[in-house]
Amino acid sequence: MNYQIDNKGFYGEFGGAYIPELLRKNIDELENAYLDILESEDFKSEYARLLDNYVGRPTPLTFATNLSAKYQTQIYLKREDLNHTGAHKINNTIGQILLAKHLGKKRIIAETGAGQHGVATATVCALFGLECVVHMGALDVERQAPNVARMQMLGATVIPATSGNQTLKDATNEAIRDWIANPHSFYLIGSVVGPHPYPDMVSRLQSIISEEIKEQLVKEQDKQNPDCVIACVGGGSNAAGAFYHFLDEKEVDLIAVEAAGKGIDTSETAATITIGTTGFIHGSKTLLMQDDDGQIIEPYSISAGLDYPGVGPIHAHLAKTGRVKYISATDEDALKAAKVLALNEGIIPALESAHALAALDKIQFKKDEVIVVIVSGRGDKDMETYMNNL
């Protein structure tokens, strides 16, 4: 089975570039250039240098002593929370900003949900002296105020998206519209979503996560492959990066956790793969939450970064082929898991990452199995939600 993108930009039946003609030139430009750039020695060495001495990679693979004792197995945490700016998002923005620079772009557009991708984009724009415009749902602007302040301090302009549910989907619509109106800008997408080549490009840039896990496990366990890797899925970028180098390693169980919100049998959920059907959103064919008239349903999750009605096409494909198991965790599960991690390991995870941690209660492990959970980000931005709910 092939889990990689084909030469037309599809993962099986999913993916492609369903974009208005207005974006054709931009997408063609990117598609024609991205692989050559990503594979060039110049890019590779600059990317590696920045990940090392700016982002602070490699991030630790922490053995979670107390959690392991609690669950009677061996649990490792991949510490993306320790990256500069506090989440995995910067792995991607460093790569894309180098690409943008290569293409001679001067103005950067981004969408953001929790604000982590917005902060990571504002950060690299400051570093490279590029103009930065971040679209963020008006509701998210409210619930993630600290990240709005960070973006502004970094010199970015934050534009609240006031259409629809005023969350990530709407911010993405506005970012794409901005790109249509400003075709010489670079659109720096924050997850493995959007038209080809974005899903593949972002997967490659996040694949550093699984590359490091392999190297680190050899030192810890004398083997490259864990028994199981668990990651949360909003658009799916940290999961795509965490699974990337294990996709063809059949003995590794891959588990992705979606946000169930108040429950997958309620109307307040964001569990796209669990309840979604095939359709088209933000330029790609994938699974999405829609009604029987093809109108996109507004998702809900306590976590702003998982509050998205679509999912990257790679995940639609991995779900369909059965390579990855998709489960979901409710708001309540996530809050509980965050508390467990804080009290047992001294780590406050992002609410998004707490969904991955919640899987530990949902899966039966054998004794001495090696489990890697991706802590995609830290919880500073979510303190208000935690204080109100714990």
Partner 1 sequence: MNRIDSLFQNKNQDILSIYFPAGYPNLNDTVPNLELLQKAGVDMVEIGIPFSDPLADGSAIQAAAKKSLDNGMKLRLLFEQLKSVRKTVSMPLILMGYWNTIYCYGLENFLKDCQTVGIDGLIVPDLPLEEFELHYKSEFEKYGIYNILLACPETEENRLQKLISATQGFLYLVSSSATTGGSLKVNEKQQSYFDRIKQIETPSLIGFGINNKESFKYTCEYANGAIVGTAFIKALKNNKAEGFISELR
Ligand X SMILES: Cc1ncc(COP(=O)(O)O)c(C=O)c1O
- Choose among partner 1, ligand X, none what residue 22 binds, the Cβ cut-off being 5 to 8 Å by kind: partner 1
Query: Distance between CA 258 and CA 201 in Å, rounded?
Result: 22
- Minimum CB–partner distance for residue 123 and ligand X (Å): 14
Q: Using CB under 8 A, pick the residue from 91, 216, 290, 353 that binds partner 1.
A: 290
- Please answer whether residues 337 and 354 qualify as being in contact, where contact means their C-beta atoms are separated by less than 8 angstroms: yes
Distances (CA, A) of 269 to 4, 115, 201, 255, 264: 29, 20, 28, 19, 6
28-63: b (≥16 Cβ within 10 Å) or e? eebbeebeebbeeeebeebbeebbeeebebbbebbe
Query: Distance between CA 335 and CA 345 in Å, rounded?
Result: 15
Q: Tokens at residue 347, please?
A: 């780590």
Residues within window 77-96 making contact with ligand X, judged by CB under 6 A: 87
- Choose among ligand X, partner 1, none what residue 270 binds, the Cβ cut-off being 5 to 8 Å by kind: none
Q: Tokens at residue 51, please?
A: 């990940």
- Please answer whether residues 91 and 61 qualify as being in contact, where contact means their C-beta atoms are separated by less than 8 angstroms: no
Residues within window 109-148 making contact with ligand X, judged by CB under 6 A: 113-114, 116-117
With residues binned 3-state (H G I as helix, E B as strand, rest as coil), the percentages for the chain, rounded to 5, are 50, 20, 35
Distances (CA, A) of 71 to 102, 242, 365: 48, 22, 8
Q: Give me the count of residues in the chain.
A: 390
Number of residues that bind ligand X (CB under 6 A): 21
Task: Tell me which stretch binds partner 1 (CB under 8 A): 143-151, 222-230, 254-262, 280-288.
Answer: 280-288
DSSP state letters, 268-297: S---HHHH-EEEEETTEEEEE-B-TTSPBP
- Minimum CB–partner distance for residue 32 and partner 1 (Å): 13
DSSP 362: T
Q: Using CB under 6 A, pick the residue from 350, 354, 358, 359 that binds ligand X.
A: 350
Q: Using CB under 8 A, pick the residue from 155, 160, 164, 263 that binds partner 1.
A: 164
What phi and psi values does residue 271 have, to the nearest 5 degrees?
-85, 75
Q: Are strands 277-281 and 74-79 parallel, antiparallel or unpaired?
A: unpaired
Report if residue 226 touches ligand X, rule: CB under 6 A: no
- Minimum CB–partner distance for residue 242 and ligand X (Å): 9
- Please answer whether residues 87 and 30 qualify as being in contact, where contact means their C-beta atoms are separated by less than 8 angstroms: no
- According to DSSP, the residues that pair with 136 across neighbouring strands are 112, 160
Q: Nearer to ligand X by C-beta: 51 or 74?
A: 51
Q: Nearer to partner 1 by C-beta: 176 or 240?
A: 176
Q: Using CB under 8 A, pick the residue from 180, 264, 342, 363 that binds partner 1.
A: 180
Residue 261 CA, chain-centre distance (Å), reads: 18
- Choose among partner 1, ligand X, none what residue 25 binds, the Cβ cut-off being 5 to 8 Å by kind: partner 1
Report if residue 173 touches partner 1, rule: CB under 8 A: yes
Report if residue 352 touches ligand X, rule: CB under 6 A: yes
Report if residue 20 touches partner 1, rule: CB under 8 A: yes
Active site residue 105: no
Report if residue 105 touches partner 1, rule: CB under 8 A: no
- Choose among partner 1, ligand X, none what residue 19 binds, the Cβ cut-off being 5 to 8 Å by kind: partner 1
The one catalytic residue in 101, 284, 376, 381 is 376
- Minimum CB–partner distance for residue 215 and partner 1 (Å): 41
Active site residue 40: no
Q: Using CB under 8 A, pick the residue from 4, 32, 182, 267 that binds partner 1.
A: 182
Q: What are the strands, taking DSSP E only, across the chain?
A: 10-11, 14-15, 61-63, 74-79, 107-112, 131-137, 157-161, 186-187, 228-232, 253-261, 277-281, 284-288, 324-330, 370-375
Active site residue 13: no
Report if residue 181 touches partner 1, rule: CB under 8 A: yes
Q: Using CB under 8 A, pick the residue from 25, 44, 70, 250 that binds partner 1.
A: 25
Active site residues: 89, 111, 376
**Residues contributing to the site for ligand X (CB under 6 A):** 87, 113-114, 116-117, 191, 232-239, 305-306, 350, 352-353, 376-377
**Residues contributing to the site for partner 1 (CB under 8 A):** 16-22, 24-26, 163-164, 169, 173, 176-177, 180-183, 278-283, 290, 292-296
